[in-house]
Structure 1
Amino acid sequence: MTAGITEKSFIQAQFSDNPAVRLELLEKLENGLELDLVEATAKSLGVETRDFATFGVMPRRTLSHSTAKGRFSAEQSQRIARFFRIMVRATDTFGDTERAERWLKRPSRPLRDHAPFELLDSEEGARLIEDLLDRIDHGLAA
């Protein structure tokens, strides 16, 4: 990955089995993501950056402030990457962005009636969502 990373390579890096690629992604996140890359990636996934507030990625004021700066902090970048990773997984599972968004917003019994998006504020919450998506993918009771 280079400074000229595209939205496609950013998403691919999150699912890469190559440790070098993942380490480069980690470095990029630690340095903070640029607004242009985040907007392009969101668009490629069928969402907009303003959806970040709806999905609990970050509060509207924080989003507005970071948008004005043109760069997100390391912590915000981690949250954005987590959201993108879950959106890709949910879209793959449900077939399209609209159905994935509906599922992410709907309370789920296996998550003790939390909507999946409510758990996106932590890595452990994201892992729970990914585990649930794996169960759905494999036809197990979810």
Structure 2
Amino acid sequence: MKHPKVINLVQEPEVFYRIQNKYDRIISVLGGSMQVGQVVNSDIDLIDITRRGLPKSVVITVSLILGISMEKMSSLLHVSHRTIQRKGDDELLNVYSTEQILEIAEVISRGIEVLGTLENFTKWLHSDVRALNYSKPLDYLDTSFGTKLVKDILGRIEHGVYS
């Protein structure tokens, strides 16, 4: 089966909205399958990527999408900004940073799906949300529990539950 070309969200955001496959959307957030180093069709593929590591360039891509500095991105990954700076663009992140990036990419994909556009999602991400005790969803993207909580809130929004 021929796999469709995955679009890079940063380069062509309007095309992203037409991508139906969950994995293609996540890979698009990360900069495309060339950036990630493989095509992704299942959670098993995501596990393989996590074990292998993602390149540092993906961190830059995700920080641009989120509209945050590399310092803030480093704090979401629990890695010093200096450590990230020292890495070459093709140098691979460790398992923990890679897993967190993949979880953040899933939140981005889900947020765009629920809120309609990248602009709407990033505006929401940087706003105080009642369900988070008037904290910003962005501040919860540094842990697995936090990303799950943000995805749960997006699910409630999708179903019309006041959040």
Tell me: CA distance 1:52–1:30, structure 2 relative to 1, closer, same or farther (3 Å): farther
**8 Å contact kept, 1:93–1:136:** yes
- Shift of residue 69, structure 1, vs aligned partner: 6.2
Q: Does 1:132 align with 2:153?
A: yes
The within-5 A match list for 1:1-142 is: 11-12=23-24, 21-35=42-56, 38=58, 42=61, 47=65, 51=69, 53-54=71-72, 56-58=75-77, 59-67=80-88, 70-142=91-163
Distance 1:76 1:34 in 2: 10
RMSD, aligned α-carbons: 3.4
The structure in which a higher percent of residues are helix is 1
Distance 2:116 2:26 in 1: 20
Distance 1:73 1:132 in 2: 29
Tell me: CA distance 1:67–1:111, structure 2 relative to 1, closer, same or farther (3 Å): farther
1:4-58 CA deviation, whole Å, 9 max, x = no partner? xx6779943869xxxx82122112112211245x269x37xx7279755435433
- Shift of residue 134, structure 1, vs aligned partner: 0.6
Distance 1:7 1:26 in 2: 21
Tell me: CA distance 1:134–1:48, structure 2 relative to 1, closer, same or farther (3 Å): closer
The percent of aligned pairs where both chains have the same amino acid is: 19
Distance 1:48 1:131 in 2: 19
Tell me: CA distance 1:92–1:128, structure 2 relative to 1, closer, same or farther (3 Å): same
Tell me: CA distance 1:34–1:69, structure 2 relative to 1, closer, same or farther (3 Å): closer
TM-score by length of 2: 0.64
- Shift of residue 130, structure 1, vs aligned partner: 0.7
Give unpaired runs (5+ residues) of structure 2: 1-5, 9-20, 28-40
Match of 1:3 in 2: none
**8 Å contact kept, 1:30–1:74:** yes
Moved over 6 A (4+): 6-10
Size of the aligned set, in residue pairs, is 131
